[in-house]
């Protein structure tokens, strides 16, 4: 991975104006008029003449600045790499931590997918790295067309214990089969928790990797799908063929 660099104050100022999430934690912005320091993606709009740049939080504090309450630059920030690939059902965006895949999302345009990524991980440093994630992106694109080929990818989805239990149960559903929310509730040993199961399916962050599209209503109806019912219908049709 090659992270963006900000070699001079002009580059840092441009990152500030763009609210560049890749610059999150790469340097810090000191605002002399307010006495605070921020990260580049902070929503503030200081004048250039009032801004200094600091390489570290320690340097900003040594200059007498205090942490911004809005962007919380004193927090340790996780780095997530992300990239986008074209699939036969639209675009897929993946985001990966050092431990594994944190997000696989489906959509129709990069800006909407990126906006969802930034909303989900507000405090993370987000590094575009399509080249470095080429193997993972190819595996996800292949899985869309060939669901029987389960890629051996490390996963790092964040959730509650119940959500993780549901997601693990979903990954045990073979391609070509559908189950109900009640079936999953029984599978995780909580037969009365079918509503919580439905919520966990809706919160699934790993499209196609964790196949929540294989869960349908007890009457066989498709129910909802975060990435579009049309995609759910298409995925199930492919798996039934």
- pLDDT tens-place string over residues 37-89: 999 998 888 999 999 999 999 999 999 999 999 999 999 889 999 999 999 99
- Asked if pLDDT for residue 189 goes beyond 50, the answer is yes
9-67 is a CATH 2.40.70.10 domain: no
Is position 71 annotated as part of the catalytic site?
no
All structural domains of the chain with their residue ranges? 9-67, 79-145, 161-240
What is the band of 2 on the pLDDT scale with cuts at 50, 70, 90?
A: low
d(CA 217, CA 168) in angstroms, rounded, equals: 19
- Considering the four listed CATH numbers 3.40.630.30, 1.10.10.10, 2.60.120.10, 2.40.50.100, the one that applies to the domain covering 161-240 is 1.10.10.10
Give the per-residue pLDDT at 241.
67
Find the catalytic residue in 38, 71, 201, 212: 212
- pLDDT tens-place string over residues 85-125: 999 999 999 999 999 999 999 999 999 999 999 999 988 99
- Considering the four listed CATH numbers 1.10.287.990, 1.10.10.60, 3.40.50.11440, 3.30.160.70, the one that applies to the domain covering 79-145 is 3.30.160.70
């Amino acid at each position: 991975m090659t992270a963006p660099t900000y070699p001079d104050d002009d580059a840092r100022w441009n990152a500030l104006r763009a609210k560049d999430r890749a610059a999150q934690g790469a340097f810090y912005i000191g605002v002399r008029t307010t006495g605070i320091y921020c990260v580049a993606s902070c929503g503030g709009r200081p004048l250039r003449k009032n801004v200094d740049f600091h390489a570290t939080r320690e340097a900003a504090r040594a200059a007498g600045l205090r942490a911004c309450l809005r962007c919380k630059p004193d927090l340790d920030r996780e780095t997530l790499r992300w990239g986008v690939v074209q699939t036969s059902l639209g675009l897929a965006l993946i985001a990966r931590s050092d431990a594994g895949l944190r997000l696989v999302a489906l959509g129709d345009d990069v800006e909407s997918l990126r906006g969802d990524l930034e909303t989900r991980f507000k405090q993370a440093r987000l590094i575009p790295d399509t080249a470095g994630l080429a193997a993972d992106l190819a595996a996800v694109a292949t899985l869309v067309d060939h669901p029987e080929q389960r890629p051996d990818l490390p996963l790092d989805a964040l959730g509650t214990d119940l959500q993780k239990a549901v997601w693990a149960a979903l990954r045990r559903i073979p391609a070509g089969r559908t189950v109900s929310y009640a079936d999953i509730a029984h599978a995780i040993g909580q037969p009365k928790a079918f509503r919580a199961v439905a919520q966990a399916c809706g919160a699934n962050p790993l499209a196609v990797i964790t196949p929540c599209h294989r869960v349908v209503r007890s009457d066989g109806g498709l129910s909802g799908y975060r990435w579009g019912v049309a995609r759910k219908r298409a995925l199930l049709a492919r798996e039934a063929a």
